[in-house]
Chains A and B, each alone.
Chain A
Amino acid sequence: MRWVLALALVACLAGAADADEPEATTADWLKALRVRGRLAEEFAYRLHDPGDVSKLKTLGWLEGKYTFSESANLRVATRGYYDAVFAATDRYPDNVRSNQEKELEVREAILALSHGDFDVRLGRQQIVWGEALSTFVTDVVNPKDFREFVLPDFTELRIPLYALDAQWRVAKNVTLEGVWTPDTAHNRLPKKGAEFQFQTVEFRFGRHPVVRLPDDEDEFSLSRSEGGMRLSVLRDGWDVSLIYYDQADKSPVIFQRRVPNTPPRPYIITLEPEHPRLHIVGATLAKSFEPVVVRGEIAVSVGKRYETSNPLDADGVVRRDTIDYLIGVDFPLFWDIDAALQLSQKILTGDATNLTKPGVAGQVTSSLALRLTTGFFDNTLNPSVLFVVGLERADFRLSPRLEWVLSGSVTVAIGADIFAGDRRTLYGQFDKNDRVTFTTTWRF
């Protein structure tokens, strides 16, 4: 199935590439080049003991786009950062320092071609599906970088993939999109000892020796390539899309294996991270009832597996197909405040006993998010606040932020990220990681 999809997409690419190319002068070539970027200094101070600087990151983005013609362009973007907090403090172990101190990465390298009703994007890119902000329900294509939890912008969180993305405008306001990628990169998780290290499941195996195997699957594999389709339709203001995506679970699932040992020694337990195949079927919806906007997303993950703490389970893993959905409404409040309220739920199709972990409260895990934003002085002073609460366990995240637009190029923002709740909950696990932040950004 994936190979058929890949061939179809390559055929689209071949068709698109024969676009007419007008002759260009040297001056036109220079005009066709656009360069822009930004430089940011991000500072965070951890409020709880030990109160100390937790981020001192200098981050730069540089992007160039070359437009060959109306139907062909090439875009390359790189991101680099250095976090001086690892030099300034000795609170983090070496494995965290080597993992998070510095990075230079190609974030985009896309050749975009179009011909009539066909568009093709080939290269390293982010492919974003879904209607709602600040959520991943149907944003399933790219893996995510969770080394700073979900606090950075989502374009920073998504890990770009080398992929082929083709779109065909079947009819007016009807678009069919196909995606194929042999790049099977996984989510990046924080190392042990990192500022936002996740709570992990405690395995208890008594006297049995335990061997932890690495998560060493190749990131490129034709046989394990991933792909899917999206059909988007706009009718009478109703913006609906249907999606299907076939992928490996981006987060590892730890399988337990019992390996015989020399008698009378007890058998050995191996813990092996695997990425089971998922078939994700979903839909999104958005509609404006001026001035209110309603959104909804649903994704059913068929083949989703969870680690269980049930000692009687043979491999320590159970299958629970999972439904994730959200409904949200954006509406204006008094004094020009934009409000967005979102309810989301994760529903496991089956018993959730022994499966509880930070992101799973039980068979049903619910959360409610409220975002308020407004602007003063012609939007040069922009306060906002995001409040997300887990409804079953009352853990929450509160993130107020005040952005000051100093000029057309420079912005300054102060903010805070406050977490509360039980240590075993999604936000409560960072109960001691409350922080204040200060960010300056220069765009050019």
Chain B
Amino acid sequence: MSELPVAGSRPSVAAMLLGSGPRFARDAILPPLAFYGGWKVFGLTAGILAATLASAAIWWWERRRARTGIGASIGLAMAISSALAGLTTGSAIAFFAPGVLVNALYGLAFFASVLLGRPLAGVFAGETYPFPPAVKASATYRRVFSRVSIAWGSYLLLRSAVRVLALMHGDVDVIVTVNVLTGVPFTAGLTTWSIWYGVRGFRRGAEWGWALRAGVVALVLLAGLAGPALAGEADDIVRAADNYRRPAESFVWKITITSQEAKKAQSTDGFEVFVKDRGRSLVKFIAPPRNVGRSLLALGRDLWIYLPDAGKPVRIPFSQRLVGQVANGDVARADYAGDYDATLLGDETVDGVACHVLDLKAKTKEITYAAVKYWVAKDGRRPVKAEFYAATGTLLKTGTFEGFKEVVPGHVLATRLTLVDGIRKDKLSVLDYGGIVVRDIPEKYFDKNSMKSLD
């Protein structure tokens, strides 16, 4: 079940553009500019080395971010072949020639993929958004990405033709200029159009459109894989699990966060958290000394930080990192039932515990995580495990709930939450909850104008 692409929620144009646009521009512009700089200053060999290094760095970065890096991998392959051509012939023209050839082959591949019914544009789109198999097999998917592939194929072939003309001119300045001008602006424009067209195509499509309009795309995309989806029962499960994460309607507790990273000394941060009702909390920083005096105030989906150096509360986003793998929202909010719409996906066993598997989608974009895949024990409905996702579908971190104790008479709580980075598994933060006092907290604790006084 772990391959279920629960994350991501629905693909929006803005999210996909922000996710892939800058990478596209970087892949297209950095290597030729690196070549030009090296060639101008030191000569042909330096230029070739600079371009190859730039491509290798991009490829390495993509792999480090756990992305397939198809674009970057192709870029690296092109850079290496160009480098071999340039170094063996000693000609700048020869250095650029393989790129033009590969560009043309690339364009032809787009057309060929359409003819074969496996549009190449879909493969690239999959880098940004994890389409489930059911979607990939649909007619809408083929239709939308076939048209996008044809557009890209046409562009690449035309670009190759223009670059051939530039090569024939023989001037490196002209070649690099044509390379950049026919690259970044057009790829940016075409990327924008592709994403807009893709999202629009799915929204208007007979197969998925109604689901997207209803805002439950992930549920539908997974319909063939997930079990019965009963929203009411799912909400009940999440609400019951939330009770293991808060002892009362009004209480104070202390949270100690221990952050660890391989080969580095661990760090410890302490917080005193005042909670009232669902969604109102004041988090005072109590350790280490450099952070003492700071505080966070969460009122519903609004968040402020008080910094002694500034002397006033300042509005900040929930998703901003607090410390280690912990976001502000991890400490300031413990109300999944209020923050997310839940869908029951099915059942699964985690470390021998039979669990419900739930798909949580953020009700608004102000919530810390766009989506959460949540495992809740069937017996007692206590939280077991959670995967937290960004809007782009990237796995941000995984959380494990442990240390269940009756810290308040008649109320069992999870006293430990371990958060592990989604990419680097050696980076983790452990949240220990203690010093729990159930009492009524005065209203002034939840007024941003009083944050300075409460320091």
- The residues of A with any CB-CB pair to B shorter than 8 Å are 36, 70-71, 112, 114, 117, 119, 121, 126, 128-131, 133, 139, 153-155, 158, 167, 169, 173, 175, 177, 232, 234, 237, 239, 286-293, 295, 330, 332, 334, 336, 338, 377-380, 405, 407-411, 441, 443-444
Residues from chain B with Cβ under 8 Å of A334 in the complex: 22
User: A175 touching B449 by the CB < 8 A rule?
Assistant: yes
Given contacts A409-B290, A443-B289, contact A128 B443 (CB under 8 A): no
User: A288 touching B366 by the CB < 8 A rule?
Assistant: yes
Residues from chain A with Cβ under 8 Å of B308 in the complex: 155
Smallest CB separation, B63 vs chain A (Å): 16
A-B contact list, 24 entries, CB within 8 Å: A36-B289, A71-B442, A117-B443, A129-B312, A130-B312, A139-B312, A153-B310, A155-B309, A155-B311, A169-B444, A237-B300, A237-B366, A286-B315, A287-B315, A288-B303, A288-B366, A289-B366, A291-B317, A292-B317, A377-B261, A408-B290, A409-B290, A410-B290, A443-B289
Beyond A128-B311, A232-B449, A288-B318, list 8 extra A-B contacts (CB 8 Å): A114-B442, A153-B310, A154-B311, A169-B443, A177-B449, A330-B317, A378-B264, A378-B323
Most chain A beta carbons < 10 A, residue from B261, B309, B364 = B309
B91 interface hit (Cβ, 8 Å): no
- The residues of B with any CB-CB pair to A shorter than 8 Å are 22, 259, 261, 264, 267-268, 287-290, 292-293, 299-303, 308-312, 314-321, 323-324, 364-367, 442-444, 447-450, 452-453
Q: Measured between alpha carbons, how far is A334 from B23 in the docked complex, in Å?
A: 10
Return the chain A residue nearest B325 by Cβ: A378
Which of B290, B312, B316, B444 is in CB contact (< 8 Å) with A293? B316
Return the chain A residue nearest B364 by Cβ: A290
Return the chain A residue nearest B22 by Cβ: A334
Residues from chain B with Cβ under 8 Å of A175 in the complex: 447, 449
Smallest CB separation, B19 vs chain A (Å): 11
User: A131 touching B315 by the CB < 8 A rule?
Assistant: yes
Residues from chain B with Cβ under 8 Å of A444 in the complex: 289
Residues from chain B with Cβ under 8 Å of A112 in the complex: 453
Residues from chain A with Cβ under 8 Å of B324 in the complex: 378
User: A409 touching B310 by the CB < 8 A rule?
Assistant: no
Given contacts A154-B311, A155-B310, contact A239 B452 (CB under 8 A): no
Q: Measured between alpha carbons, how far is A286 from B314 in the docked complex, in Å?
A: 9
Which of A117, A155, A237, A336 is in CB contact (< 8 Å) with B301? A237
Q: Measured between alpha carbons, how far is A295 from B318 in the docked complex, in Å?
A: 16
Q: Measured between alpha carbons, how far is A291 from B321 in the docked complex, in Å?
A: 11
Smallest CB separation, A69 vs chain B (Å): 11
Smallest CB separation, A217 vs chain B (Å): 26
Smallest CB separation, A105 vs chain B (Å): 16
Residues from chain A with Cβ under 8 Å of B321 in the complex: 336, 379
Q: Measured between alpha carbons, how far is A276 from B149 in the docked complex, in Å?
A: 70
Q: Measured between alpha carbons, how far is A410 from B22 in the docked complex, in Å?
A: 38
Q: Measured between alpha carbons, how far is A90 from B323 in the docked complex, in Å?
A: 46
Which of A128, A290, A410 is in CB contact (< 8 Å) with B312? A128
Q: Measured between alpha carbons, how far is A133 from B320 in the docked complex, in Å?
A: 17
Residues from chain A with Cβ under 8 Å of B318 in the complex: 288, 290
Smallest CB separation, B120 vs chain A (Å): 26
User: B310 touching A234 by the CB < 8 A rule?
Assistant: no
Smallest CB separation, A76 vs chain B (Å): 14
- Enumerate the 7 nearest inter-chain pairs by beta-carbon distance, A residue then B residue, closest first: A408-B288, A128-B312, A443-B289, A286-B315, A291-B317, A290-B366, A153-B309
Q: Measured between alpha carbons, how far is A332 from B327 in the docked complex, in Å?
A: 14
Given contacts A114-B444, A378-B267, contact A289 B365 (CB under 8 A): yes
Residues from chain A with Cβ under 8 Å of B453 in the complex: 112, 119, 121
Which of A237, A290, A379, A409 is in CB contact (< 8 Å) with B289? A409
Smallest CB separation, A185 vs chain B (Å): 17
Residues from chain B with Cβ under 8 Å of A169 in the complex: 443-444, 447
Smallest CB separation, B48 vs chain A (Å): 27
Q: Measured between alpha carbons, how far is A287 from B316 in the docked complex, in Å?
A: 9
Residues from chain A with Cβ under 8 Å of B288 in the complex: 407-409
Q: Measured between alpha carbons, how far is A367 from B314 in the docked complex, in Å?
A: 21
Q: Measured between alpha carbons, how far is A286 from B303 in the docked complex, in Å?
A: 11
Which of A36, A133, A237 is in CB contact (< 8 Å) with B310? A133
Smallest CB separation, A94 vs chain B (Å): 33
Q: Measured between alpha carbons, how far is A29 from B87 in the docked complex, in Å?
A: 80
User: A408 touching B289 by the CB < 8 A rule?
Assistant: yes
User: A290 touching B449 by the CB < 8 A rule?
Assistant: no
Smallest CB separation, B277 vs chain A (Å): 11
Residues from chain A with Cβ under 8 Å of B312 in the complex: 128-130, 139
Given contacts A128-B452, A288-B303, A336-B321, contact A443 B290 (CB under 8 A): yes
